[in-house]
Amino acid sequence: MIPMVDLKRQYHNLKADIDAAIQGVLDNAQFILGPNVAELEKEIAAYHGLSHAIGVASGTDALLLSLRACGIGAGDEVITTPFTFIATADVISLLHAIPVFADIVTDTFNIDSGKVEEKITSKTKAIIPVHLFGHPADMDPICALAAKYNIRVIEDCAQAFGATYKGKKVGTRGDCGCFSFFPSKNLAGYGDGGMIITGNKDMAKNLRLLRNHGSVVKYHHTTLGYNSRLDEIQAAIIRVKMKKIEEFNDKRRINADIYRTLIKRDDITLPIELPGCRHVYHQFTIRSKNRDGIMKTLQNENVSSAIYYPVPLHRQEVFTRRNISAENLTNSEICAREVLSLPMFPELKKEEIEHVSNVINHAP
């Protein structure tokens, strides 16, 4: 069976370093906000050329705390994409704000920057662009709109660690950049974890308060906060992998190029990389009107595949019963019917890609 991702291969390649990192945490016995969290924050801030990084408990919490730190609350509107994992819009509703969905472009699956302005009202307080599948969203026009209307930009970079847009890493253009360290991500731990990056000192201070029950001094609380601290063991593991992130992303890009060379079907649209962008291929996602047939053929040949995402957010029950607008989201509907993600991870072998491509090429 060729899996979507094989975490065991990566672990065995890094076993000595990861085991030593975990043992170091156990020996030190400082498990909450310990030295590995502090060092990882410094390393990720430096990697992005920003002054602050704040480790939190998950990518979802990274978005939630960022919205809180940006002052988003009840009745505010936040524009985002309906073609993403539910966490992006979930956190908006959890703060009693209102998600407003703008349609996507079909070539990168990201929010259509040309569709954002028509969604802006006097209640709009933020935009959350998602750098989906590892390809950067079109940030220049989004940031221009944010400046024009004085609204915040929170970048959802959960699937795009290391991707770049016009020479700048994703997460560095907005007020905050939010990352997930879920085990399957490009930079990943062995459990939940997340990180927020920002160049704003006051924002960083607020985020550190929010992640730790609204407290800087123990048992003294200045705001309502959360228990959302990045785990020390996860930070130690991620620090080992952080040293390899460019190598991992380069291997994903090589694998994507092999797929592009080998898949030869007129009824399949392959993922692209727009000029000025560096795609890091968290997923290699094709489109086909024969998606379900191709998926069944792959399954019969012991090849994994996955649909991200079969139901766009505006069609999810949690939002339909809140009467969230579903107008003018045609591209999101089309992509939900046609997308299929193929196996993609740094340790994927060329002969495995050849087999996957051969099965696709000969699928009825």
Query: Once rounded to an integer, what is the mean pLDDT over residues 222-233?
Result: 97
Per-residue model confidence (pLDDT) at position 53? 98
> Whole-model pTM above 0.95?
yes
Per-residue model confidence (pLDDT) at position 29? 97
Query: Once rounded to an integer, what is the mean pLDDT over residues 143-153?
Result: 98
Per-residue model confidence (pLDDT) at position 326? 84
Q: Above 90 in pLDDT, residue 309?
A: yes
Query: Once rounded to an integer, what is the mean pLDDT over residues 317-345?
Result: 94
The domains of the chain, with CATH numbers, are: 7-102+111-242 (3.40.640.10), 245-361 (3.90.1150.10)
Give pLDDT tens digits for 336-364.
Answer: 999 999 999 999 999 999 999 999 999 99
Query: Once rounded to an integer, what is the mean pLDDT over residues 215-225?
Result: 93
Query: Once rounded to an integer, what is the mean pLDDT over residues 38-67?
Result: 98
Give pLDDT tens digits for 181-213.
Answer: 999 999 999 999 999 999 999 999 999 999 999
Q: Rg of the chain over CA atoms, in angstroms?
A: 20
Query: Once rounded to an integer, what is the mean pLDDT over residues 293-322?
Result: 96
Q: Above 90 in pLDDT, residue 325?
A: no
Q: Above 90 in pLDDT, residue 88?
A: yes
Query: Once rounded to an integer, what is the mean pLDDT over residues 168-175?
Result: 98
Query: Once rounded to an integer, what is the mean pLDDT over residues 264-275?
Result: 97
Query: Once rounded to an integer, what is the mean pLDDT over residues 113-137?
Result: 98
d(CA 150, CA 137): 20
